[in-house]
Structure 1
Amino acid sequence: MTRAVTFAVLIVTVLVAHRLADHVLGQTDAQARLKTEPGWLGWAALARHLAAYHAVVIVMATSTLAALHLTLSPVGVAVGLLVSAGSHALWDRRRAGRWLLVRTGGGEFAELAEHGLNGMYLADQSLHGASLWLAVLLAVLL
């Protein structure tokens, strides 16, 4: 039962932290603009975003778990952070997300950028959510 409660608490916390970190506290305009650029410039902007993003996530997750007297193992924490950081980097470079959309019949959706909708942004956020689900599940199970 404790694992189920920890998972429920942590997934809600991490998804809220994701929104805050990706859109308010964990990414500058320059990082958002440059993180998909080729070479050192893009990777450096992405690294700065990942550091700020995960600082927000770690503070929110740690304080929530502490307040509710829930724990994770050090291995679970490490694996969860590794999955989160690795997948976040993968999706934020955009190539993998676009490749996946095209291969699964969503090529037109990937190009959608009108009427207040942006297919790549929506896919990016969905892929982040699925990756965070996996990161939290592994963190709780290990």
Structure 2
Amino acid sequence: MTRAVTFAVLVVTLFAAHQLADHVLGQTDAQARLKTTPGPAGWAALGRHLAAYHAVVVVMVTVAAVGLDLRLSAFGAVAGLVISVVSHALWDRRAAVRWLLTRTGGGDFAELADNGMNGMYLADQSLHAASLWLAALVTVLL
């Protein structure tokens, strides 16, 4: 199987795993509410979310890799997982998302929270998707 096909399978699998883990199986209401708060309670909530989220990711990637006979190196898989964990933690604390939006002309978007729209959430999800793309790319290339 070519690297391009393996990359495509990983991107799709990671995105599906992200949706399931971030919105259904990998985060409680309490974790979502507390993960951005300062101090130990916020970090503990974030840690529990990251553990549950990445358990879903590992299971789904493993099923895809075994079922489709993907050629992944252990080093590449670990590197991709590290990128996912670190970037997910960075974006979920929200400070980096707000910093990025305000410095790229999206300060008003960061404050948007009406009519069913939430700028910080949408930016967070976009940054997660880009980070998963990077994780898949690194996994395949290493």
Shorter-normalised TM range: over 0.9
1:1-142 equivalence runs, <5 A? 2-142=2-142
SS in 2 for 1:37: coil
Q: Distance in 2 between matches of 1:8 and 1:75?
A: 19
**Partner letter of residue 108 of structure 2?**
E
TM-score (norm 1): 0.98
The runs of at least 4 aligned residues of structure 1 exceeding 2 Å deviation read none
Query: Structure 1, residues 93-136: CA drift from partner, whole Å, max 9, x if none?
Result: 00000000000000000000011100000000000000000011
* Sequence identity percentage: 73
Instruction: Give, in whole Å, the separation in 1 of the partners of 2:43 and 2:49.
Output: 10
Task: Please list the CA deviations of residues 66-109 of structure 1 after superposition, one character each: whole Å capped at 9, or x if unmatched.
Answer: 10111210110111010000000000000000000000000000
* Structure 2: 5+ residue stretches without partners: none
| Equivalent position SS for 2:137 | helix
Unaligned runs of 5+ in 1: none
**CA–CA distance in 2 between the matches of 1:2 and 1:52?**
31
Which residue identity is paired with 1:66? V
**Letter of the structure 2 residue corresponding to residue 39 of structure 1:** G
Amino acid aligned to 1:82: V
- What's the TM-score, normalizing by structure 2? 0.98
Q: Secondary structure at the match of 1:38?
A: coil
Cα distance in 1, alignment partners of residues 88 and 118 from structure 2: 19
How many angstroms apart in 1 are the aligned matches of 2:5 and 2:65? 11
**Aligned partner of residue 71 in structure 2, secondary structure:** coil
Kindly tell me the number of residue pairs found equivalent between the two proteins.
142
For residues 83 and 64 of structure 1, what CA distance do their matches in structure 2 show? 19
1:24 aligns to what SS in structure 2?
helix
